Amino acid sequence: MEIAELARVLKINLQSDKAKIWNRHSGEDATAEFLETDRMKSIPKRKSVFDQAAEAGVTDLYNIFYRFLSMETHGHNKMKHPEEDDPHMLSTMHIQGIGAVNRAIGHVGVRWLLHRERTDNESLRDVLGLNGTQP
């Protein structure tokens, strides 16, 4: 785990009073003072998953898998008007996403088990029909 991530977790817990920093000489609570240090103020921002995908040249895979399948985690799948919206549409979208994940997992498994090959992004795009080809 990266040191910056550990520092970020510490900072979150200190800010929420789940952890404390104590002055070992005086025994006083030094949490506020510690949070004001340059070290705690300069924790580097983590790179977003989208930025990582862009660097790797796989934003299309990001948009198909991560963005789509994390909607619920981030609270973006709530129907605005349940009485007007079709709940079957949400189920259909989830089933399609699950189908894409299963197809990708199957592709990875076959390539490894039968050919001992690692899956590359282009073959995964082909399997999912993202290159304009049919799987």
- State the residue for tokens 């006083």: 28
Mean pLDDT of each 10-residue bin along the chain, 135 residues long: 85 94 94 94 87 86 75 63 64 74 83 86 81 61
Please state, in angstroms and rounded to a whole number, the distance separating the CA atoms of residues 125 and 114.
20
Phi-psi region of 17 (alpha: psi -120 to 50; beta: other; left: phi over 0): left
pTM above 0.75, yes or no: no
Q: What is the pLDDT, as a whole number, of residue 23?
A: 94
DSSP state, 91?
A: H
